[in-house]
Chains A and B, each alone.
Chain A
Amino acid sequence: MMARYVVRLRQDVERWTKAGLIDRLTAAKLVADAERRDRNSFGSGTVLAMMATLLLGAAILIFVAANWEAFPRLLRVAVLFALIIGGYVGGAVLKSRDHDAFGEAAWIVAAAAFGASMALIGQMYHMSGDESAAMLTWCAATAVAALVLRSGPLTVAAVGIADAWLAGSLLGGLRTLSNLETPLLFLPIAAALFAISYWTRSQAARHLILLSLVAYVTWLAADGDAFEVGFLMACVSAGIFAVAHIAPRETDNIVRINGRLPLHALIAFLVAMALIQVELEGGPGFIIAAAVTLAGIVAALLLQGPQSRGLRGLAYLAFAIELCLIYGITMGTMLGTAGFFLFAAVLLGILAALIIRLEGRMGRSQAERSGA
């Protein structure tokens, strides 16, 4: 993504120099700066290295799970222990020699080997008890590793394990012997990992934690009183959106997710409103909920649309889905297929007009800002 940005910037800079907007020296400086930042960023090489790592980690886990009888199990334990030590130490050596991506990858392999060792020990001694505690131990070990090595990817991995644990305990697939290990335990775990992510400078981990919290609350709502929890969730997310809009710099100084808090708030709001609408379907309250949803989407677009492309995309998509939903529930019975096409055409027209207006406004406000 960043590499594409550099290519585009180079073309722009060339155009600007030709037009006499900037001199050659400034042009060279601008391109050099963008290229330097590009090298430090999360490029496609890192992504590939991480994918390779995940495959290797999965291979290790499956390798143990297959109850591989060909080698004595003490040898298997030794192999896994060697992977843990080799992964952590080798990763540190690679990292200190500026091979960041491979260093982080080696650490992920070591963390996977720890999980595999737990599974193997359980298998060696036919332990049937506490899967929940085993996963939490794995999560803790990975979090400690992230803390000690100051590693972003390990932080994300710890969040991933915590998510898997949460999914397991919500779906009831995890055996546990303890009263403490209810899904509610996810909240302090998420808080701890959020705190760790500041030290490890892992924005991705914070995004994942926020999304996980939305998913958890959604489960709570779907499992219990959808209207009540959904209502609360919509109010809280609208509140967070408002705070993030009024004081963008201050809130981002706290959560540090590159100004994307409004996007998370909008996701939570939309999920909450979807829950409420499903709950109210068929009743008179539905149309009010639908109107609130549309108003929320438009408000989000007007307030935050100019700043965030991701938020615009999400809002357009949600707007289209919402209109289809309203059509399906309220008018689907009254109109036939031809009516639907007419409706769809009008709808797309309205959507297009709205988007064009909005982009026009954005263009103007940006021009004003750069003119000032």
Chain B
Amino acid sequence: MNNGKKLVLSALLLALVQVGFLGWMIVGRAAVLRDGREVLLKVEPVDPRDLLRGDYVILNYDISRLPLSMIADIGEVRHDLVPTHSVTVRLRREEDGYWRAGGAWLKTPPNPAGADEVDIVGQVPSLNLAHVDGEVRVTYGIERFYVPEGEGRAIERDMRVRPFGVRAAVSSSGTAQVKALMDGENMLFEEPLY
């Protein structure tokens, strides 16, 4: 009986730790949504074959491709082969309301972001500098938008004829989080905190 009690107790502890871990994930993500700076990103049409897999839309942004020359400290990387690396991209708000990349660094930026600027952290894949023709692909962890089943096709169609945008929240550490999917000025979906 004593043994049984011990087992039940350790099972309870285990369950609480695992649920606590999952809860911590949720709270962390919600904090980005609540406290992060809001930016509006322009969505670019994607090759329709890649657009919809299952019930999410794949999003491609104008900041998903950056000219290699924009990365200020790329010259400091001595090797031809840069492994997967995080990159800090400085976003600036432009007149049409969208935020676009103004500069990028592989290391910590030399000066902090200004009042109308936001730093977002992305990942560049491992790349051979000798074979890159001027552009590099950056992912920010916001390249997916889950939609109610069956609605993806219509969005896919519209995205190719009208400009779409994503309102994203960016935390002070640069983690980005999708807040809302915009069809021009209209908000299609907005995410609650939880």
A93 to B8 CA separation, bound complex (whole angstroms)? 6
Let me know if B84 and A89 touch, CB within 8 A. Answer: no
Instruction: Mark A93-108 against chain B: 1 for CB-CB distance below 8 A, else 0.
Output: 1011100000000010
Let me know if B191 and A126 touch, CB within 8 A. Answer: yes
User: Number of B residues whose C-beta is below 8 Å from A?
Assistant: 45
Does A47 sit within 8 A of B, measured CB to CB? no
Let me know if A127 and B141 touch, CB within 8 A. Answer: yes
Does B172 sit within 8 A of A, measured CB to CB? no
Stretch of A80-88, A187-195, A359-367 contacting B (4+ beta carbons < 8 Å): A80-88
Taking CB atoms, residues of chain A closer than 8 Å to B5 are 96
Taking CB atoms, residues of chain B closer than 8 Å to A130 are 141
A87 to B181 CA separation, bound complex (whole angstroms)? 37
| Interface size range on A against B | 35 or more
A81 to B13 CA separation, bound complex (whole angstroms)? 14
Taking CB atoms, residues of chain A closer than 8 Å to B1 are 96
Which of A67, A97, A123 is most buried by chain B, counting CB atoms within 10 A of its CB? A67
A11 to B1 CA separation, bound complex (whole angstroms)? 39
Given contacts A123-B146, A128-B143, contact A88 B55 (CB under 8 A): no
A92 to B3 CA separation, bound complex (whole angstroms)? 11
Number of CB contacts from chain A to chain B under 8 A: 118
A177 to B125 CA separation, bound complex (whole angstroms)? 8
Stretch of B19-27, B67-75, B109-117 contacting A (4+ beta carbons < 8 Å): B19-27
Stretch of A143-151, A251-259, A286-294, A346-354 contacting B (4+ beta carbons < 8 Å): A143-151
A110 to B15 CA separation, bound complex (whole angstroms)? 8
Let me know if B10 and A126 touch, CB within 8 A. Answer: no
Let me know if B123 and A91 touch, CB within 8 A. Answer: no
Taking CB atoms, residues of chain A closer than 8 Å to B59 are 128
Which of B7, B18, B142 is most buried by chain A, counting CB atoms within 10 A of its CB? B18
A97 to B4 CA separation, bound complex (whole angstroms)? 8
Does B11 sit within 8 A of A, measured CB to CB? yes
Let me know if B142 and A121 touch, CB within 8 A. Answer: no
- CB contact between A85 and one of B16, B123, B145 (< 8 Å): that residue: B16
B1 to chain A: closest residue by CB: A96
Given contacts A67-B148, A92-B7, A128-B144, contact A121 B14 (CB under 8 A): no
In the assembled complex, how far is the CB of residue B192 from the closest CB belonging to chain A, in whole angstroms? 8
Given contacts A67-B148, A114-B18, A121-B29, contact A129 B11 (CB under 8 A): no
In the assembled complex, how far is the CB of residue A95 from the closest CB belonging to chain B, in whole angstroms? 6
Let me know if B149 and A125 touch, CB within 8 A. Answer: no
Does B91 sit within 8 A of A, measured CB to CB? no
Let me know if B26 and A77 touch, CB within 8 A. Answer: yes
Let me know if B84 and A178 touch, CB within 8 A. Answer: yes
In the assembled complex, how far is the CB of residue A113 from the closest CB belonging to chain B, in whole angstroms? 9
Taking CB atoms, residues of chain B closer than 8 Å to A179 are 83-84, 126
Taking CB atoms, residues of chain B closer than 8 Å to A107 are 11
Does B178 sit within 8 A of A, measured CB to CB? yes
Does B177 sit within 8 A of A, measured CB to CB? yes
Interface residues of A in 62-94 (CB under 8 A from B): 65-67, 69, 73-74, 77, 81, 84-85, 87-89, 91-93
Does A34 sit within 8 A of B, measured CB to CB? no
Let me know if A125 and B177 touch, CB within 8 A. Answer: yes
A130 to B141 CA separation, bound complex (whole angstroms)? 8
B58 to chain A: closest residue by CB: A128
Besides the contacts A67-B147, A88-B18, A89-B12, what 20 more A-B pairs have beta carbons closer than 8 Å?
Answer: A67-B148, A77-B26, A85-B16, A85-B19, A88-B11, A89-B11, A92-B4, A92-B7, A118-B25, A121-B25, A121-B26, A124-B191, A125-B29, A125-B191, A127-B29, A127-B141, A127-B144, A149-B7, A179-B83, A179-B126
| 10 A-B pairs with least C-beta separation | A96-B4, A128-B144, A92-B11, A129-B141, A88-B15, A128-B143, A92-B8, A126-B178, A125-B29, A85-B15
